[in-house]
Amino acid sequence: MELVKKLAKQHNLTDDELRQILVTDRFDSMLMQEADKARQEIYGRDVYIRGLIEISNYCKNNCYYCGIRGENKNLTRYRLTKEDILYCCEQGYGLGFRTFVMQGGEDPYFNDDTVTDIVYSIRSKYPDCAITLSLGEKPAESYKKYFDAGANRYLLRHETATEEHYKKLHPDSMSLEYRKECLFTLKEIGFQTGSGFMVGSPYQTVENIIADLRFLQELGPDMIGIGPYITHKDTPFYDKQSGDLFLTIRLVSILRLMFPYALIPSTTALGTIHPQGRQMGLKAGANVVMPNLSPQNVRKLYSLYKDKIATDEEAAESVEKLRRTVKEAGYEVVCSRGDVKK
C-alpha cells in the first residue's frame, strides 16, 4: 500500500517507512491532504483558541536551547502576581477564551501554595473554563494538588526521547527519565496531558525524531505540541541553525495521522519562522492556536528564542484578526473549551 494511505489507515508505519517519509518532500501534499481529512473527521473545521499567560521568565534550569535559562544574565526577569494573572483571565474571558494556559520557567516562587491558590481562584471565577498548566517538572504530590485545585490539563514537552540527544540539550542536573516519569504521572492523576518536541534542535537526527514518535505512541498524549527550534543569541547554542519549516509542517501531518484525536497547536514558533507558518500548520492538520494573553509589557521578556512574535495575531487582543486568518485558511475559530475527543 502506498505509504501515506497506509499511515492514514493504520495510524502507524514501520521505522523504515517513517524514515522514508521524513527525509523527502515527495509525500508532502498528499500528507497534508490526508491529515486535513483526518482532522475534519474528528474535529470538523473547528480551531480552538487558548489564552496563553506567560507567568514568569525566572527559571532554575539551564536548558542549552532556551532563552530564559537561569544562567542567561542578559535578560530582565519578571513574574506576574496573582492579580495580574486574574486580570489576564478577565480580559481573555471577555474576548471569548475558555481555556487559560499558564506557562513559565521553573520559578521556585511559584511553589505549591502559590500555584494552587491561583488555580483555585481561576477555577472559582470561571467554572466553565479549562485551566492548563505548563510549569515544568514537579513531584507527583504537587501535580496532584494542582489537579485537586481545579487544573485540567498539563503541557510538558519531552523535548527529545533519546537519552544521548537529551544529554546534548540539557545539563547533567536534568534527566529524561524523570521528565518521562512526570508525563506518566500527569496522565495517571487525570490531567489531559500534552507532550511534544522541537524540530531541528541541535544534533537532532531522523532516528531521534522516530524515537520521539514512538515515545508519543507509548504515552498516548491528548495534546501534542511541536515547533521548530529557533536559535537564541544568549544561549550556548547561539551559533546553531534553526529548525526547518517544512520538516515541522510534515511532522504536524504525520502526528495528525498517527494521533487523529490529538489536539495539535499551530505553534508560535511556527508563526515566528514564517509569516504564513501558522496557517500552514492549520492546513497540515493542527487544530489549536494559543495567542498571547500576557500583559503587553512582559511579552518581549518571555524570550524563549529570537524574534518571538508578540504582535498581531499572536496577541489575544486581535482575536478578530485571528478569526479572519483562520477563516482564510479554511477553518473556524470556536470559543468552546475544546476538550480532547478521544
Nearest to 289 by CA among 99, 151, 44, 104: 99
Q: Which is nearer to ligand SAH, 49 or 226 (CB)?
A: 226
Shortest Cβ 229–ligand SAH spacing (Å): 5
Shortest Cβ 277–ligand SAH spacing (Å): 12
Scan for cell 507532550, then name that residue: 195
Shortest Cβ 263–ligand SAH spacing (Å): 16
Euclidean distance between CA atoms 237 and 132, whole angstroms: 30
Pair 313, 321: CB distance under 8 Å: yes
Q: Which is nearer to ligand SAH, 241 or 311 (CB)?
A: 241
Q: Which is nearer to ligand SAH, 88 or 304 (CB)?
A: 304
Could you please report the per-residue DSSP string of 127-192?
TTSEEEEE-----HHHHHHHHHHT--EEE---B-S-HHHHHHHS-TT--HHHHHHHHHHHHHHT-E
3-state secondary structure (DSSP) of residue 91: helix
Q: Which is nearer to ligand SAH, 43 or 294 (CB)?
A: 294
3-state secondary structure (DSSP) of residue 233: coil
Q: Which is nearer to ligand SAH, 13 or 63 (CB)?
A: 63
Applying CB under 6 A, the residues found at the interface with ligand SAH are 65-66, 103, 105-106, 134, 136, 156-157, 159, 198, 227, 229-230, 232, 269, 304-305
Shortest Cβ 125–ligand SAH spacing (Å): 24
Amino acid at 210: I
3-state secondary structure (DSSP) of residue 54: strand
Q: Which is nearer to ligand SAH, 232 or 250 (CB)?
A: 232
Shortest Cβ 238–ligand SAH spacing (Å): 11
Shortest Cβ 179–ligand SAH spacing (Å): 8
Shortest Cβ 34–ligand SAH spacing (Å): 26
Report the 10 Å Cβ neighbour count for 163: 11
Euclidean distance between CA atoms 88 and 185, whole angstroms: 29
Write the burial class of residue 172 (CB in 10 Å: 0-12 exposed, 13-18 middle, 19+ buried): exposed
Give me 103's grid cell: 506557562
Q: Which is nearer to ligand SAH, 98 or 179 (CB)?
A: 179
Report the 10 Å Cβ neighbour count for 283: 21
DSSP designation for 241: P
